[in-house]
Chain A
Amino acid sequence: MQRVYLDNNATTIVDPRVKEAMEIYFCQQYGNPNSLHQFGTEVHPAMRVALDRLYAGIGAADEDDVIVTSCATESNNTVLKAVYWEVISKTNKKRILTTPVEHPSVSHVCEFLAENGAEIIELPLNKYGIVDLSTLKEYLDPEKTALVSIMWANNETGIIFPIKELAAYARSQGVLFHTDAVQAIGKIPVNAREVGVDYLSFSAHKFHGPKGVGGLYIRQGAPFVPLLHGGEHMGGKRSGTINVAGMVGMGLALELANYALEYEATEVRRLRDKLEDAILAIPDTLVIGKRELRVPNTILASFRGVEGEALIWDLNKQGIAASTGSACASESLEPNPVMVAIGVDRELAHTAVRFSLSRFTTEEEIDYTIEVLRASVKRLREISSTYKKC
């Protein structure tokens, strides 16, 4: 049976070139880079190359910090807690402005900080599913706001937020700005200095690098407190023996992802659009978010009368991996806030299925998916008690 992976917003295949570059650091050059002997120092050149790639890959200046973490969850925790310790707990700036669609590694940390004196405000989304500049202007009180934390691209819908103008406004008001760029890197150009953010989180496994390694950009002068204490690794900003293989892999994966951006914007987009057109050709379906406002690899589609988990069950039986935000697979029956903001019928809250492609997705895979999808939707609608042909 054919196996098709269309869940690339969850994780990605490791690029074979990345895997190959990492291999030497497991059994040959396995020294601790903090050791003084040759086993430790012999890995330094590769680490310098990896750092160069990371700095260049996200557009950091040499005076900024790009620290290697274990994942974007750690990076997000680091930023929010650093701002809490350095600003919220010491000044009258108690507020964090964020959105209702952040990854739990932002939203759950915000909830935790709220229990400890921070004031969290979720900015409303407009009809396109984003926070626009006028909304930020309306809510941002520079006297009371410590941080604005807004994702660059949404993991479920692929909708891109206007980070450059939002960050510029926050900066003009003297307010720190963090963006979780996990779903943007490798799909659209990302340049931290150019957009003017203070903090930027990313994760290697979302752009064909290894799992268990991520990164955090910290603009020069931005308040910072390490999340992990216990050593002088990463210039004292993140303790813990450095994951050399992961760092090397992430550096190369980022470079390759940036090389592939043109391919992403053309060929991946073409395949995505082909799948999207086929979905929309099935009666009573819709896709969340305007095409031009989304990253090129993502579709969040709703199939009226078909529960999301049931559909991904059927697809899985046919070897196709997709994902659902359906309530049955989540903690709450509340519909996705993006769907609410865009004005999607509440009836469709549990019918959403996400398809996310990568540069490794082929035309044959998309053709096969279209064929299976049509049959599965037909089968489940025949079972459905709520679907009535319009």
Chain B
Amino acid sequence: MAKNQLIGGALWENYSQKVAERMDNPKYRGELTEEDAARLGGKLVVADWGAESCGDAVRLYWIVDPATHTILDARFKSFGCGTAIASSDMMAELCIGKTVDEAVKITNLDVEKALRDDPDTPAVPSQKMHCSVMAYDVIKQAVALYKGVDRESLEEEEIVCECARVSLRTIKDVIRINDLKTVEEITQYTKAGAFCKSCIRPGGHEKRKYYLVDILREVREEMAKEKSMAEEVKFNDMTIVQKHKVLEKIMEEEIRPMLAADGGSLEIVDIQTTENGKTLVYIRYLGACNGCASAMTGTLYAIQGYLNRKVDENIVVYPI
């Protein structure tokens, strides 16, 4: 990749022929009117998205059959670069013949794929992918207007990278599952951040709600916290005092309540370690346990088994 990035200014060379053609002669440029809608027996929808001050703005016209919710015709107008104009044109074409519910599923990725000359070569260079996002946004707006619902209600998940349509959930999962440590790795796994790069860190092409650097930092912090909890000092490596704390806590919270059901209890008298790595826990039964027949058998096995499972397999319990 490095060799391919050394010569700048090749932006337009990386446009597909289809992008160039649709920029020069957009097929679906224009407006639709109430007269057009009446002629086709449909409902006119006019959706705007973006603003001139943001660098991109598009207006989408639909005529929708109210009985079948099929888009009978579509047109667009666009303030934007060549990619924005070509994407808007393709987006309008993709809408025609689809139902509104099918159209809402069209993303900028579909638009970009449809603009490819061959399936394996992107239609636009990576830094221009964001110019096709406007097409996706304006469809959502048109659907919201047609259905009379809030646009937000059409959003199924929180999108971090608009260019590659990668969600917050996906990015967090990928970091965790693959133990990713850099933004570059996130990009390799998900394509998030591979295009206009706005979602990588603040100060890019446009402001974003989430940035990969922040998500990465937060998830890594969470992972480190979880790891440190899991990697607390092994019981066998603890000092006698530390071992006493751990055992006393488990006795108080889990074992004494079990014994108390029968009116019994216990106390830790001593803790010793042996050369072969065993931890000897000397206990004294109290209350009903003191003198109980099963104190030296069933109850003892239960206590030791519990400590072996929960704390350390090398614990041996001796009643005194």
Contacts and interface: CB of A to CB of B under 8 A. Distances in A.
A307 interface: yes
A384 interface: yes
A329 interface: yes
Nearest to A328: B81
Interface string A338-360: 00000000111111000000000
Interface residues of A, number: 28
Contact of A317 (B24, B54, B203): B24
Interface in A288-330: 305-307, 309-310, 313, 316-317, 326-329
Interface in B4-25: 11-12, 23-24
Contacts of A349: 53, 55
Given A310-B80, A327-B205, A331-B204, A385 B55 contact: no
B26 interface: yes
A351 B57 CA distance: 13
A385 B79 contact: yes
A386 interface: yes
B12 A387 contact: no
> Helix, strand, loop or mixed for chain B's interface?
mixed
A383 interface: yes
A225 B204 CA distance: 34
Given A333-B54, A350-B52, A385-B58, A309 B79 contact: no
A286 B76 CA distance: 27
A350 B79 CA distance: 10
Contacts of B206: 333
A346 B53 CA distance: 6
Interface residues of B, number: 32
Contacts of B59: 385
A313 B204 contact: no
User: Of B56, B79, B85, which is in contact with the most chain A CB atoms at under 10 Å from its CB?
Assistant: B79
Contacts of B204: 331-332
A306 to B, nearest CB: 8
A382 interface: yes
Nearest to A332: B205
A211 B38 CA distance: 63
Contacts of B76: 385
A347 B205 contact: no
B85 A310 contact: yes
Nearest 9 Cβ contacts at the A-B interface:
A385-B77, A385-B59, A309-B81, A328-B81, A327-B55, A386-B79, A350-B55, A386-B52, A346-B53
Interface of B: 11-12, 23-24, 26, 29, 48, 51-59, 76-85, 128, 131, 203-206
8 contacts: A307-B56, A307-B79, A309-B81, A309-B82, A310-B84, A313-B23, A351-B52, A385-B78
Given A307-B79, A347-B51, A350-B54, 10 more contacts: A307-B55, A307-B80, A313-B12, A316-B12, A327-B205, A328-B84, A349-B53, A383-B85, A384-B79, A385-B77
